[in-house]
């Protein structure tokens, strides 16, 4: 199977579920390796430039990556309470 390291015989003996699990794990490992490489490059750039600039305070000031952003859907407990209060107020509920 090439990049995933399976022989043709191993591939054909797999169930679709087994293949999907192996494929998902392979993709996750590749993604983590990709991110690690870019984070290393950013850290090298950060430490090379931080001594020469007062504007650079953190590595994301040099390069911003989409994985640095807060994942969609994750909110703090305070934010949840605020949203619930606003929704209850809009619906005319007391609580």
Angstrom distance (rounded) from CA 32 to CA 51: 29
| Domain ranges for the chain | 2-66
How does pLDDT run along the chain (95 residues), one tens digit per residue? 578 888 989 989 999 999 999 999 999 999 999 999 999 999 999 999 988 888 888 888 888 888 887 766 677 888 888 888 888 888 887 65
Threshold 0.75, pTM exceeds: no
Q: What is the dihedral of CA 24, 26, 27, 31, to 10 degrees?
A: 140
Angstrom distance (rounded) from CA 60 to CA 38: 12
| DSSP string for residues in 1-15 | -GGG---HHHHHHS-
CA 5 to centroid of chain Cα atoms: 25
């Amino acid at each position: 199977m090439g990049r995933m390291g399976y022989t043709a015989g191993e591939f054909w003996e797999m169930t679709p579920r087994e293949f999907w699990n192996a494929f998902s794990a392979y993709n996750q490992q590749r993604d983590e390796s990709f991110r690690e490489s870019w984070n290393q490059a950013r850290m090298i750039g950060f430490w090379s430039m931080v001594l020469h600039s007062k504007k650079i305070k953190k590595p994301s000031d040099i390069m911003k990556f989409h994985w640095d952003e807060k994942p969609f859907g994750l909110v703090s407990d305070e934010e949840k309470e605020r949203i619930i209060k606003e929704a209850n107020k809009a619906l005319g509920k007391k609580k």
